[in-house]
Amino acid sequence: MTALLSLQHVTKVFGGLTAVDNVDLEIAERSITSLIGPNGAGKTTLFNCLTGLHRPEVGEILFDGSSLIGLRPDEITDRGVARTYQNIRLFGRMTALENVLVGQHLRLHASHWSAVLRTRRQQEEEHAARESARALLRFVGLHGREEVVSTNLPYGDQRLLEVARALGSQPRLLLLDEPAAGMNPSETDRMMELVHRLRDEKGITIFLIEHDMKVVMSISESVAVLDYGEKIAEGTPEEVRADARVVEAYLGPEVAVQETAGPASG
Amino acid sequence: MTSRPVTARAAGTDGRAALKHFTRAFGAAIVVLVVWRVTTVGLAEGYPASFWISQALNGLVLGGVYALVALGYTLVYGILFMINFAHGEVMMIGGITGYFALQFALARGWMEGPWAIVVIALLTIMVIGMAASVLIGVALERLAYRPLRQAPRLVPLISAIGASLFLQYSVLLIFGVSPHSYRKPALISGGLRLGDVFIPYTGAIIFITSILLMLALYFIIQRTKLGRAMRAVAEDRATASLMGVDVNAVIVVTFMLGSALAGAAGVMLGFHNTVVKFNSGFIPGLKAFTAAVLGGIGNIPGAMFGALILGLIEAVGPSALGIPTEYKDVIAFSLLVLILIFRPTGLFGEVLSEKKA
Amino acid sequence: MALQSAAGSIRTGLIGFAFLSYLILIGIPGRIGGSALPVLALISALFFWLNLRREAAHHLARNPEQGLEGDEGKPGWEIGANADSDRSSLHALLTARPGTALALRGLLAGLTTGLLIAVVSGIFAAAMGNGVAIQPVLDKIVPINVAALIGVSPGQIVQAEVSFIRFLLQILLFAGAGTLAGLAVSAGGSNLTTAARSGFLAAHVSGPTLGSVGRFAGIALPFVLLAYIAWIGLPGVTAFGTNEGTVRLLLTLIATGSGLFAVRLSRPGREQRIVAVLLGLGVVSMPFILDQFQNSVMGLVFIFVMMGLGLNIVVGYAGLLDLGYVAFFAIGAYTYAFLSAPFSSPYISGLLILMGVSPDSPLLGYWMALPVAMLTAAIGGVLLGIPVLRLRGDYLAIVTLGFGEIIRLFMLNLGELTNGPRGILEISQPALFGVSPAGVTFGLLSSQGWIFLLALVSSALVAFVAIRLNSSRLGRAWFAMQEDEDVAEATGVHLVRTKLLAFAIGATFAGMAGQLYAARQINIFPENFTLFVSIDALALIIVGGIGSPAGIVLGALALKGLPEVLRGVDEYRIVTFAALLVIMMIVRPAGILPSARRRTQGTDPDEAGFDDSGELMEGLVSEEQVAASPGLANGKEEVR
């Protein structure tokens, strides 16, 4: 399989702190890859570099063969990279449907003049956008919640809505920042199922940050581990689980000898 | 994840490279233009050095007054994240009250008495002006801002605009349209002559007093329990209140401190400009706010230096650029605009961001 | 406990005194004249009534099991739990003999106020009797004012012939007012419990629910008013004697405003459309009916509606707080002024003479100049927009404010171009097919009526464009940007383009408004374009209800129309307006006619939290908030 996303020597420095240090990573098309690491390891910073929020000082990010470095966040989204946020950042006063419609912004092309005149084409496009937004909400399991103002949605539904909004831009690569954080077990199961369906039914490549090791180990095909901004391990879940450096990073050198099933870091 | 200073975020958005290049080119063009103008026109006029020195001293005096008012803006902004738009009026009330106190003293003949009496009378006048400003400032907080603490940010701003108009026009209705003129006592109406440079006593007194007041404020904020509480509330109101800080009391005290400084500024500006009237707080208030933003709003030393810089540029700028003095306000506001374009957190924004990071 | 309640009454009395002394200082008694004393007593009675009512409601809220008439209150008040340990003597009295208790409290408050007023007026009277001139210090303290306050003739004040009885009467009058207020509160007890239940503010915010009769009356009201306005315009008909002009203006304002409510009251669908069309016809006919003065005020109102709609795009939709909006208004006005009256500008007339064109006649007519003015304003919007793209919140506000001031100072000081404070004179009126319709159409349309009609049509057009844009993807992008700029960008919104479009469209509308304003004024001066124009425009969209075009019309009627009605008491216009602005923000911050989005917010008080949506609401996230990493962006994590 060809790599959809490839990172080469990506480095991001804040002041004196190297948040992401010389990271190389390849993500295959239609794969589910997890990024794990202790708190402050630079995971979200790496996501921010990918989506154009930060510009790495060194390194190259290739998406489908072309560089993402120096592009604006909206241009990167246009190329087909969408994301969700660790702490939910929905457009709070908009309804669920409107949130997804904003997600589709890039895929709508009617001019603003035609919106004033309500031309037939603009109306058709708007209608189609609404239909597909409804379909996306159905897909993530928010059927019947279209007109609910997003802050009034339950927590788990807000996470699902973030995914739906990201899907609005028809991404090929979806970055999920701790999609199951703060969810109860049944919600977590729902989210994991959704991640699988995203890949299987929509063919979207998934790259996610997760702390819940149960989730990571059960859904990912490959796992990358960051610690102090450096990639310390990469491989299948089983390989990573067995890696001594990973255990050390999570539990500290003293306890590293006593192997445990999964770190309890949250 | 890691929290970063403001500048990091600004650097993070530099995907907008074109815009950045544009602003850089724009900035360079302005610098070149200013330098060219100063060298070919301003300096070519051949003013003597003493002229520049006295202009600069003038600017420092004005800057001192702005600084006192700017501190009020910055203190309130640091804690409530709101622009106290009526702060200029708080200053004006101090000036008006000071005028009446001065009239009283003049009528009693205290201003012609021995210098000790005059000094005590002048100090008392300033304290009375400060007290009036504190009264108005606290009333303002209680009536116009406190009920709106939970409201979205535009709402207190509009309320503040309303309060500002209300105060201005109430003073107009109560005390009339005509300006009230301050009469300087003989003791401070002279000046000091150092070579070709003339330093009026009032200017020197104003500058020294404002520096002293600023030091006092700095001491209160850095060294006292109260100041610690204020800083705590500014950092994080919810946590401070959990730690047992009475947030309401701190906010009231903040308004009191800011208003007291504004009141002092009002009285001193009265002596400096020789008149006060109902709208004489508006433009200085705006300038002081500019100064606060210039130094990075919420940042106390920033407000002081921002004000001094603004005062200097306003005084020296027109002659240096060889343009009429009517444009001094244009210079002040253009400076603000330019600073914010190139350093959106103000000149001393770094201090703030390090503290917050 | 009894002492505490007495202290509360005295406090009420003191606040009443402070309020009344303010009215005295600004010269209200002198203004009202002979009936000043009873009017002031009435005002204070009203004040006491409000205060006691609120106190009693508060009290009942704390002790819900004991209604005034002993009816069962609903349990579940937070503080209700420890009400048992908190029984004051007032509470005992309230439940036993509520009338007496409240009347006593009112009496005490009234006595306090009356006593202090008597002392103050006594001091003023005595001073004036002794020949002390208070007026040079306190502008409005003149014998007429003080005499009106005591209820004597000014001559008696000057000659110090006010008997002691007068002051006693004064005290008694205020004490009576307080007692009356107390009795009124206890009489209205049944409403009180409901007021207590719903909470004082909530009762105001949620608004009344109308029955079908009320609904019908609400819809009929504007039509009745319009008919009445038309009728009193007929020759020979007078209303309220000489004051007809203002009365008719007031009715016109109310008719237009209530028309907006009528549309809201009518059922969506056919009924609403019919009501809207009929009302539209009624309003469009107004320029033909009203006289020159009323038309000129209505014209100004609708020019400001255009301004408000434009600013609403920038502030209400895109969440960019712009305090320098007057700049674009000025650009529109001066562009038209230069094109229409080039002879007034020394520089332009010089230039024209050099080019061999006579500067003595307009270069372009109103309609040809319209696109030029709009384009110039739009370019101005983009040019001023580019540098502030990176700024947020209050910084943006202050920079735009600076821009507005810079433009005004340039207008004032670039004498060669703008003729400085002497202004541009003799700007021509808009004409249609070469003739000005004013006076031509059967003499029905006055020149100001023509301006009004144009303003009406233009604001309808602007509203149409604004509403359509807002419901398109551009509107969604604006709103998303307002909610969270970073996320909006990452979701695919081109921030630079979206922001600049907001600035440009807003500026275009302001340019249109400015051009019409120049035509209305005929002569324009830099002082027409001060910061206060920006503040007016901002205030009117906030008072009306930000984001809601209907609210903007209402705001303009209230802020630009009502003050003209109050022309008679010109000097008190601005303080009244300013005080109302503050009160309005406290009582109803979402505006009179909030947009649908605001209303969904308003129902849930938790939503207006300072850190969460309170910040996001206006998109005015300060730099400090931004400083935190996206990972900690708005503190939601702590809340969870």
pLDDT the model gives residue C609: 31
B249 versus C359: which is more confidently predicted? B249
Percentage of residues in chain C with pLDDT exceeding 70?
Answer: 75
Assess contact for B42 and B327: CB atoms under 8 A.
no
pLDDT the model gives residue B3: 38
Look up residue A111 and give its two tokens.
């001019």
- The CA angle C433-C435-C437, to the nearest 5 degrees, is 100
Contact A52 B11 (CB under 8 A): no
Q: Where are the alpha helices (DSSP H) in C387-494?
A: 393-413, 415-418, 447-470, 473-483, 485-491
> Which chain C residues in 481-540 lie under 8 Å from chain A, judged by CB atoms?
483-484, 486-495, 501
Assess contact for A72 and A52: CB atoms under 8 A.
yes
Q: Helix axis angle, C212-232 relative to C244-265, nearest 10°?
A: 150
Q: Which residues of chain B neighbour A72 with C-beta distances below 8 Å? A: 15-16
Q: Which residues of chain C neighbour B170 with C-beta distances below 8 Å? A: 22, 26, 575
pLDDT the model gives residue B18: 64
Neighbours of A, requiring at least 3 CB pairs below 8 Å, are: B, C
Assess contact for A24 and A9: CB atoms under 8 A.
yes
> Which chain A residues in 53-72 lie under 8 Å from chain B, judged by CB atoms?
53-55, 70-72
Q: Which residues of chain A neighbour B15 with C-beta distances below 8 Å? A: 52, 55, 70-73, 75
Residue of C106, C145, C116 lying closest to C17 (CA atoms): C116
pLDDT the model gives residue A227: 87
pLDDT in tens, A69-113: 888 888 999 999 999 998 889 988 889 999 999 999 888 888 888
CA distances A93 to B1, C426, C547, C603, Å, are 27, 49, 13, 13
Distance CA B337, CA C597 (A): 33
CB atoms within 10 A of CB B224: 11
Query: Is the ipTM value over 0.90, yes or no?
Result: no
**Which amino acid would we find at residue A113?**
W
* A–C interface: beta-carbon pairs under 8 A: 125
Instruction: Check whether B125 has a pLDDT greater than 70.
Output: yes
CB atoms within 10 A of CB A95: 20
Residue of B nearest to C598 (CA): B152
**Which amino acid would we find at residue B316?**
V
Look up residue A10 and give its two tokens.
């990506």
CA distances C168 to A195, B232, C9, C16, C35, Å, are 84, 54, 20, 18, 17
- In this complex, is the C-beta atom of A187 within 8 Å of any C-beta atom belonging to chain C? no
Contact C387 B5 (CB under 8 A): no
Q: Which residues of chain B neighbour A78 with C-beta distances below 8 Å? A: none
Task: Output the CA torsion A133→A134→A138→A144 (10° steps).
Answer: 140
Instruction: Check whether C633 has a pLDDT greater than 50.
Output: no
> pLDDT confidence of C613, banded at 50, 70, 90?
very low
Distance CA B86, CA B164 (A): 4
Q: Min CA distance, B134 vs chain C (Å)? A: 17
pLDDT the model gives residue A174: 93
Q: Min CA distance, C289 vs chain B (Å)? A: 35
pLDDT the model gives residue C367: 87
Look up residue C403 and give its two tokens.
């821009």
Neighbours of C, requiring at least 3 CB pairs below 8 Å, are: A, B
- In this complex, is the C-beta atom of B3 within 8 Å of any C-beta atom belonging to chain A? no
Does this model's pTM top 0.80?
Answer: no
Of the candidate ranges B43-47, C81-85, C408-412, C589-593, the one whose mean pLDDT is the lowest? C81-85
Contact B2 A54 (CB under 8 A): no
Q: Region A222-237: what's the mean pLDDT?
A: 87
Task: Output the CA torsion B162→B167→B170→B176 (10° steps).
Answer: -130
A173-177/A81-83 β-pairing? parallel
Residue of B nearest to A18 (CA): B2
Instruction: Check whether B318 has a pLDDT greater than 90.
Output: no
- In this complex, is the C-beta atom of A148 within 8 Å of any C-beta atom belonging to chain C? no
DSSP string, C315-329: IIIS----S-THHHH
Q: Which residues of chain A neighbour B354 with C-beta distances below 8 Å? A: none
> Which chain B residues in 81-110 lie under 8 Å from chain A, judged by CB atoms?
none
Instruction: Encode C64-100: b = buried (16+ Cβ within 10 Å), e = exposed.
Output: bebbbeeeebeeebeebeebeeeebebbebbbeebbe
pLDDT the model gives residue A138: 92
Contact A74 C494 (CB under 8 A): yes
CATH of the domain at B174: 1.10.3470
C620 versus C182: which is more confidently predicted? C182
CA distances B212 to B117, B306, C121, C324, Å, are 21, 17, 42, 36
Residue of A203, A204, A245 lying closest to A224 (CA atoms): A245
A225 versus B355: which is more confidently predicted? A225
> pLDDT confidence of C440, banded at 50, 70, 90?
low
B169 versus C155: which is more confidently predicted? B169
DSSP string, C252-312: HHHHHHHHHHHHHHSPTTHHHHHHHHHHHHHHHHHHHHS-HHHHHHHHHHHHHHHHHHHHI
> pLDDT confidence of C98, banded at 50, 70, 90?
low
B27 versus C372: which is more confidently predicted? C372
pLDDT the model gives residue C334: 92
Q: Which residues of chain A neighbour B11 with C-beta distances below 8 Å? A: 54-55
Residue extent(s) of CATH 3.40.50.300 domains in chain A = 1-80+171-266
Residue of A235, A54, A59, A81 lying closest to A169 (CA atoms): A81
- In this complex, is the C-beta atom of A92 within 8 Å of any C-beta atom belonging to chain B? no
Contact B148 C629 (CB under 8 A): no
Instruction: Check whether B291 has a pLDDT greater than 70.
Output: yes
pLDDT the model gives residue C395: 73
Domain count, chain B: 1
Distance CA C138, CA B178 (A): 12
Q: Region C586-612: what's the mean pLDDT?
A: 49
> pLDDT confidence of A1, banded at 50, 70, 90?
low
B174 versus B2: which is more confidently predicted? B174
Kindly state whether residue B267 falls inside one of the protein's structural domains. Answer: yes
Task: Output the CA torsion C586→C587→C590→C592 (10° steps).
Answer: -130
pLDDT the model gives residue C385: 85
Query: In CATH, which superfamily holds the domain spanning A1-80+171-266?
Result: P-loop containing nucleotide triphosphate hydrolases (3.40.50.300)
pLDDT in tens, C538-559: 888 877 877 788 889 988 988 8
Q: Min CA distance, C337 vs chain A (Å)? A: 29
Of the candidate ranges B160-174, B261-275, C99-113, C271-285, the one whose mean pLDDT is the lowest? C99-113
Contact B330 C627 (CB under 8 A): no
What's the order of all strands across the beta sheet hosting A58-63?
Answer: A17-28, A3-14, A58-63, A66-67
Structural domain boundaries enclosing B105? 66-356
pLDDT the model gives residue C634: 35
Of the candidate ranges C48-57, C73-82, C98-107, the one whose mean pLDDT is the lowest? C73-82
Instruction: Check whether B356 has a pLDDT greater than 50.
Output: no
Assess contact for B281 and B172: CB atoms under 8 A.
no
- In this complex, is the C-beta atom of A78 within 8 Å of any C-beta atom belonging to chain C? yes
- In this complex, is the C-beta atom of A38 within 8 Å of any C-beta atom belonging to chain B? no
Contact A45 B2 (CB under 8 A): yes
Instruction: Check whether C30 has a pLDDT greater than 70.
Output: yes
Percentage of residues in chain B with pLDDT exceeding 90?
Answer: 9
**Which amino acid would we find at residue C324?**
G
pLDDT the model gives residue B48: 77
pLDDT in tens, B59-75: 888 898 899 899 888 88
Residue of C458, C449, C451 lying closest to C308 (CA atoms): C458
Contact A110 C616 (CB under 8 A): no
Distance CA B168, CA B185 (A): 28
Assess contact for B284 and B91: CB atoms under 8 A.
yes
> pLDDT confidence of C593, banded at 50, 70, 90?
low
